[in-house]
Structures are given as structure tokens and as C-alpha cells.
Copies of this chain bind each other. A is one copy, B any other.
Amino acid sequence: MAGFRVFLVVFTVCVVCVLTECKYMVYNTSQGIVPGKINVHLVPHTHDDVGWLKTVDQYYVGSNNSIQGACVQNVLDSLIPALLADKNRKFVYVEQAFFQRWWRQQSEAMKKTVQMLVSSGQLELINGGWCMHDEAATHYIDMIDQTTLGHKYIKEQFNVTPRIGWQIDPFGHSAVQAYLLGAEVGFDALYFGRIDYQDRAKRRDEKRLEVIWQGSKSHGSSSQIFAGAFYAGNYEPPTGFYFEVNDDSPVVQDDINLFDYNVQERVNDFVAAAFSQANVTRSNHVMWTMGTDFKYQYAETWFRNMDKLIHYVNQDGRVNALYSTPSLYTDAKYALNESWPLKTDDYFPYADRINAYWTGYFTSRPAIKGYVRMMSGYYLAARQLEFFRGRSKSGPTTDSLADALAIAQHHDAVTGTEKQHVANDYAKRLSIGYKECPLLNISYCPASEVDLSLGKKLVVLVYNSLGWKRTAVVRIPVINDNVNVKDSTGKLITSQLLPIVNASIAKRKFYTSAYMGESPSTGPMYWLAFTAVVPPLGFSTYVISSGKPAASASIKPKSYVFDGSQTGAIEIGPGNLKLIYSGDDGKLTQYTNSRSLVNISLEQSYTYYSGDDGSKDLQDLQASGAYIFRPNGTFPIQSEGKIPLTVFRGPLFDEVHQMINSWIYQITRVYKEKEHAEIEFVVGPIPIDDGIGKEIVTQIKTNIGNNKTFYTDSNGRDFLERIRDYRADWDLQVNQPIAGNYYPINLGIYIKDKNTELSVLVDRSVGGSSITDGEVEIMLHRRLLHDDGRGVAEALNETVCVRDTCSGLTVQGKYYLRLDPLGEGSKWRRSFGQEIYSPFLLAFTEQDDKWTNFPRPTFSAMDPSYTLPDNVAIITLQELEDGTVLLRLAHLYEVGEDKDLSVMATVELKRVFPNKKINKVKEMSLSANQERAEMERKRLSWKVEGSNAKQETVSKGGPVDPVKLAVELAPMEMRTFIIDFNSNLVQY
């Protein structure tokens, strides 16, 4: 049969290829760290913006996918089985706003599974705030609150405390983030993606991307943190290692039965990328952030490929790949016991490339920024009130406001870098928490607009959330002109009544129609002002009634028209402070204080920058937009003619009204009892009929010789020195002499020379600078016509519409300025800054026949003979679900800031809570998720290159004696306590 065999040999040439039976493949993913090799820490993560192109809920449920395909529910739903499939797989999750939405929907069995995964370390909750807050446009109190909110849930549900700060996307990084929201919440490290491109280049060259960051001058090394800027300036995987559903990175094809087997090729890619990163990284540990925005929609796609990479890369052996987390990575770095470069100050401003300074967002959407700040102060006060009343188990609580405010701290929320519909969503959430007088900001407040001529009386309750007694003028809109004000003892007090100007009434009508859907038939005609005096943590009441003749001083305006008829300067101010306006043209010329003897020439004006449309340079198509400030020209705003001054002089304060042009209106107030000027601006609609976007700044000019140096706050807390056209960390290549010198301002900005300080305080987050010596400027509003190419895909062109008629959004706000002799400015900046943050809270009720008098005319929670020290504020006073109380106290001064107040302060808790019995006081970490002592015990002790930090002495308050219950606070110290009261002694 040989012949036939030959024949078959011939014929079976055709059938040589047979699919080998392939067995189920088990990948070895158990690899740990291998000393002596480059260890590539694969950190699977998703970055889930708490609102940006879609709203937070749209992102959660995955609706509105035509804008962006993103569904956080998918991420978490698909993650759990992926982790269960291989115990070596790991994942970090960050944003608790999303995580808690998901958690609520899970079965008990699933919750147990997730608890097991967290407990085993497979799923690690890092950062752990409600959102990944911004670091420029946020106030430190909001940062603390939103972090505390997230950490609380994590602690309750999993009994863990996040170890890692993970601020991977915010657009620059603040000192407060590093020391306060980093070290002080017990984080072992802080990681982020975005630092200036020039800075990053140098740090890569010098292997200084990873540093020890001491963000606080006052705290020094006691609040330092290991801080790593990512290699590539983002938080994404190396090119070619994206494994999301539908991503086009090559998947690892290791099935030899299929075409395009590519294991060696992919291993080579991996090794090359690892070496590339290792070349600019200290030590042989590198981290790969395996994920990006809203990835892991189907988590298995990532893990499937990472499993294979770990398996085959380790078979290859040139580098070592492992599943890791930032915690494990940090531990690996720490275990090396090396010294790291020191970093102080902050990472602002941020440019991601030439001419692309992310300093526009410091001011973008100023109305939202104002709303957030207003709600922030309100929330602080509301929690105090909730505590006094006793937190309701079933009824309304401050929780929804907490949620809304926490969401609003997201780095695409208060930043103004979200789409318009998302901005609307944030505002809607805030408004749900704040139902009363929602448009008070533009003089719409029905509660106070009672027609008192009908015999009704209006009770005004004025609440002071500060720990100090406080005296300030209150202004409320009223309908009648024949009114008087009595204090709670029934004594008539001084009040003044100013007519509301026509422009303001028209604006009110338009905005009321736009936002309320209807315009009120009658509106207030007057501002009634009186001085309220309120005890700490307490209220006073005032009764407003019709009185004939009116007891209020009814102020008539006096107009100055500069046609030559006016001779001599115009002096404004009923008290020590006088502002002098020129008799020639009505411009502000002089600031003089008869007490402090400061007497200085002062100008104040408006300027706009034309927003670059990105077209002038084909190599650099960068427009000014929501993120980026790129001015294309500076244009002083000239009034159409000379500006008439309209002056209202009264017993409590003087007002100067100036119509700067058809879209800028300004009121300057000088109070009898205050030594600062309050400037209320109404800016908008910014005209764009010339096709040019504009960014409006106000400039305050003096002859102070500040030598390029100015000071801006870090999230409203520490002041940092800024030097124009200079960076401490590298030789700055100056391409944008304006935008590149802008810094975020949440509290204020000041300049000084050897004699004088000029301070400007703000009522919301803004951007500002000192572009020329003697000058301070802050950006008030922006309206731009081009998207700046960072993803939001909308021009920052806010409008307000009534029916089909839209016009640019008008913004109303205030800033405050004061001049002091050198060294005396901080008292005002700190104490009045606190008052700006926590204004009097007003409530109204009509008094009818049943109440001849308001039942409880005044109240203070504190011992009547006690007040907090001038250098301490209550940052948090909040009853928790379990009846314990969260108390945060903050020293307001930095070391050396004020000659009197930069000292140790003491708060006597017994006198703060005179009516309650304090059972126990536990000092906690800043986010209150662990005891302070425990946190300090676990704190990693990093070594700083070339420093002998041990010699440094940092002053801190001592332990709280359980009997004395006196809390010491050193400069800038913030202390957090959980207080257990004896609950049956509630006495309010």
C-alpha cells in the first residue's frame, strides 16, 4: 500500500494547519516588588468628574451620553466581579459623591462583598472626599467640609481611613491642599498630574517630580507630605496602554490559535515605556496610572489586558510589573529610606504649554463662585443652628446642602469650567438647600417686602455665626418710606433709608423674570439700613414698623456733574476714613484715615483684556476661555463722558454711585464705624457686538513701592508671597506677562512697602495680581466667545434669557479695600475676612396680633461673659448623626503675621458650651475620621534632601486637659474635636 501512502502524503500537504486545542489560561498576577528591577506599579483607577460636561447624576446613571459616553454605575457594577475574579487585581476609587450613590443601591450581600474587597486592600478608597475638589477657586472650609463628608461615609461603611491624596486633575496645586488637606488629614502622600510645563521639564531633568512638600510656613515639617507630580503631566496610561471598551490600543493577543499574536511586541512596548519613565524617576519604582476619565465602564477589559501584561512582562524579566495602588507605591518609596527634594509654597499658576495659563478659571462664572461662597457661609451657620435645635432624626437636615456644596467644590464646578447646563445643575442643587430669599443678592426678598403701611410689623432676626460679638450695618429692601427700627428692648435705633436706584430696579425685574418665571407686581423702593449688634454664636432681633413721621433718616442723593460747576474735592465718609474724589472729574484720588494717619493717593478704575480668539498664531491656536486666560490687549475702560457722582450721605454710611459706563455700575460705601471701603460692582452685560470677548478687571493704584512682590492667600488661609515674572523653582520663561502672573484669591491680596500695606478682600474666588508696582487688580467677570480647547467645548459666554431675549450675564459683587501702616493690615484681613465669609444671617417673620413681642429677642449659645479670642474662629460646629458634636477651631494668624495675634490662643470649651455637660472630648484628624494621636502615630517620617529639619521647632497647642477643657491653638493651627455631651442636659 506504499503507493497510496505516497498519494496521501501528496494530498495532505493541504491540511497542515490544525487549530491546537487551547486550554484555559491562568495568568500569574501575584508578583510583588522585586528589588533591583524597575518595578512598574500598575494602578488601575478611573477619574470620575463630579459634573463637567454632564451633571453628576447624568454621569452616575449614564444618561446624556450624546455629550459624553460615561456612566459611573457601569464602572462600579463591573468592577466588583473583575476584582473577585483575581485576588491580585487592585483598584482605587476616589469620588465619594459617586460611590455613595452606588452604595445606596446595593444589596446587603453586595455591600458585604465590597467590604471584604476594601478590607483585603483590593479596593482602596483614596482621596475620599465627596469630590476631587479644586485647589484654586475653593475655600479651605469647603475643602475640609467636603473631605470630611466623604471620609465619614468611608469610615462608617468600611472602618478605614484613606491614606492617599489623589488630586490628579485639578489645574495647579495649593499649599493648603498639601499641608491641610494632605498632611493634616493623615495622608501619606499626595499625587497629582498638572504642574507647569516648564516646571515639569526641569523636574524631569533633575528627577525632582517627587518631593517632600511643606505647604505651610507656620507648620514647617510637622505638616509635610510626600508629593508626586506624574511623569507625563496627566493621569493616563502610557501611550498604547488604554484598554477601555472600544479603545484602540492594541490588546494583548496571546491566543496562538488566532491571527495577530503580539505578545512579544506588547512586552517590548511595555518595557520601553517603563525604561522611559524610570529615566526621570528617582528609585526603581514607577507608577502607571491605568485609567482616565470615566474609564472601566467594563472593568474586565482593563484587567484582562493588565493580567496578560503582568504575566508576560515578568516572564520576559527585564522589568517587574505588578498590580499596585498609590499606597503600596508610597510604601515602596518610603521603604527605600532615601532623602527627597524639598518643595515649599505651591504649584500656581499652571500652564500646560506656552501661552496656555490656566488662570482664567480663577474668575470664570463669578456668579456661581459668589453663590458657592454665600452658601458656604450659610452652611456653617446652618449647622450651628441645627446643633442648637438638636439634629432631627426624621425631618429636614443640613445634609442636602452639605451634598450640594460638596459637589460644588469639584474641580469643574466652582472653577466655572463645566458646560452651562451643568453649571445650572450645581446652582439648582445649592438652591434646594437654600430656599429662602434666593435672589437676595439682587434685592429680591419677599419676606422683607411686607407692606408695613397696613399695620404689620416685620421682625428681623440677625444671626452671628462668629465667636465674637459683632456690630455691623444691616440693609434690607422695603416697600415703604415711613418706617422705623426698634431693637429688642423696644428702643428706636438709628436707621437710614436710601432710595433704590432705577437701574437696580430694572435689573431686578429682568432677573426675577428670568429665574422665577414672573416679575413681581410691586417691588421694594428703598434700602433700610441699621446697625445690628449681635452676641457671639447668637442672634438679636429688630422690629421694623411703619412710623409717622418716619424715624429713619431718609437720604436724598446729591449728584455732582463735572461740568466745571463743582469746585473742590468731594470728601466721602462719616467716620475716620475719608475717600476724596476729584472735583474736576469725580475720580477717586485720595485715601485718608484720621486715626491711623494713613494718607495716600489712590486711584480705582476698570480695564478689560480682550480675549485672544486663538487665531493669530497658527502654531499656537490658543484662545482665552473658561480655563485659560490669554489676553490679546489691555483696554482701560473710559466712561462715555465724565462720570457723574451721586452721593448719599447718611448717619451710618455714605454711598457713592458711579455709572462707569453703560454696563458697569459701582457703589462705594464708607461706614462710620469701619475703616475700609466697600465697593459693590455691577458688571454686565459685557458687550460682545464687536465680536471680541472681554475679561473685566478692576485696578487699584497707589504709589506703594512693592517691588514686584504681592501676597495672595492659599484657599483663604495662608498668604503666599508672589513675585512678578518669577518662580522660585525654576527660571521662568515669561511668555504671558499678565496671565502668567495671575494667582487665585479667595480671601484677599495685598502689597506693601516699607510704610504702607494695601489690602483688597473679596467676597468670592477671583483671579488677581499686581501687574505693575503699586497696583493691585482683580478680575471680576469674563465673557468669551471661543472655546479654549480643554474639553468643555463651549465658549464661556454666560447669558440670561427672558423668553427669547438673552443678554450677557450681569454679575454683582463686592470687594473691600483698606490701607494700613506696615504691619497692621493683617488684623483687618483676618478678622474682617472672617466676617465676609460669615456675614450676618437674616431671617424674617411678620408679627401679627398674636405676638405683641418676639418671644426670644436675643440669644447667645456661649457664656454671656465669654468671647473667642480675636485670633480664633469656629470653623465647624455640627451635630453628627450619633449625637456627638464636631467642633473645629482655627487659629487665624500665621507665625509672625501680627505682632499681637500670632501667639498661642486658648479656647475654653466649657464657656463655649455653658449649657451642656461635656462628657468627653476626642481630638481628631482634620477630616475627623480617626483620632489625632493615631494619625500622628502612623505618620511617615520622610527625609528631606540636605536639610536638618530636626532643629526646627514648630509650636503646637498642647493636649486638652479633660477637666479644664481648654484648647490651645498655635498660629495657623486647626484642631478638630468630637465632643460627647451629656445628652439629657440640652438646654436651648
Contacts and interface: CB of A to CB of B under 8 A. Distances in A.
Interface in A359-397: 378, 382, 385-386, 388-389, 395-397
Interface stretch (A62-70, A197-205, A961-969): A62-70
A824 interface: no
Interface string A402-445: 01000000000000000000000100100011111000000000
Given A15-B401, A385-B11, A396-B16, A301 B62 contact: yes
B105 A25 contact: yes
B856 A400 contact: no
Given A69-B246, A300-B78, A856 B378 contact: no
Given A61-B251, A74-B301, A845-B6, A436 B14 contact: yes
Chain copies in the assembly? 2
Interface string A43-63: 000000000000101101111
A260 B400 contact: no
A8 B3 CA distance: 107
A336 interface: no
A423 B260 CA distance: 16
A3 B61 contact: no
A971 to B, nearest CB: 34
Contacts of A618: none
A347 interface: no
B10 A988 contact: no
A854 interface: yes
Nearest to A390: B8
Given A461-B7, A855-B3, A401 B78 contact: no
A454 interface: no
Top 10 A-B pairs, shortest CB-CB distance: A3-B855, A69-B246, A3-B856, A298-B298, A66-B248, A17-B400, A57-B258, A65-B248, A24-B107, A10-B843
A104 B396 CA distance: 58
9 contacts: A7-B856, A15-B386, A15-B401, A19-B400, A24-B108, A55-B259, A62-B301, A63-B260, A78-B298
A4 B856 contact: yes
Contacts of A78: 78, 298, 300
A736 interface: no
Given A378-B14, A396-B18, A461-B10, A253 B856 contact: no
A433 B19 CA distance: 11
Contacts of A250: 63
A245 B74 contact: yes
Interface string A504-538: 00000000000000000000000000000000000
A851 B10 CA distance: 15
B856 A15 contact: no
Interface residues of A, number: 97
A18 B397 contact: yes
A104 B301 CA distance: 19
Interface string A97-113: 00001001111101000
Interface string A1-42: 111101110111111111101101100000000000000000
Contacts of A856: 1-4, 6-7
Given A18-B399, A297-B298, 12 more contacts: A3-B855, A4-B859, A13-B435, A19-B400, A21-B104, A24-B110, A57-B259, A65-B247, A74-B298, A78-B298, A81-B81, A259-B428
A844 interface: yes
A105 to B, nearest CB: 6
Contact of A101 (B247, B258, B844, B988): B258
Contacts of A4: 388-389, 855-856, 859, 988
A257 interface: yes
Interface in A427-476: 428, 432-436, 461, 463
A257 B58 CA distance: 13
A245 B63 contact: no
A860 interface: no
A889 B394 CA distance: 80
Interface in A813-871: 841, 843-845, 854-857, 859
Contacts of A298: 74, 78, 245, 297-298
Contacts of A101: 255, 257-258
Contacts of A176: none
A77 interface: yes
Given A11-B385, A300-B77, A399 B843 contact: no
B13 A436 contact: yes
A71 interface: yes
Contact of A425 (B10, B14, B259, B855): B259
Interface in A527-574: 539
A398 interface: yes
A844 B843 CA distance: 104
Contacts of A401: 14-15
B300 A17 contact: no
Interface in A617-660: none
A389 B12 contact: yes
B105 A539 contact: no
Contact of A397 (B15, B396, B859): B15
A423 to B, nearest CB: 14
Given A17-B433, A18-B400, A19-B400, A10 B844 contact: yes
A55 to B, nearest CB: 7
A988 B22 CA distance: 33
Contact of A74 (B77, B253, B300, B385): B300
Contacts of A403: 19
Contacts of A81: 81
Contacts of A463: 11
A388 B12 CA distance: 12
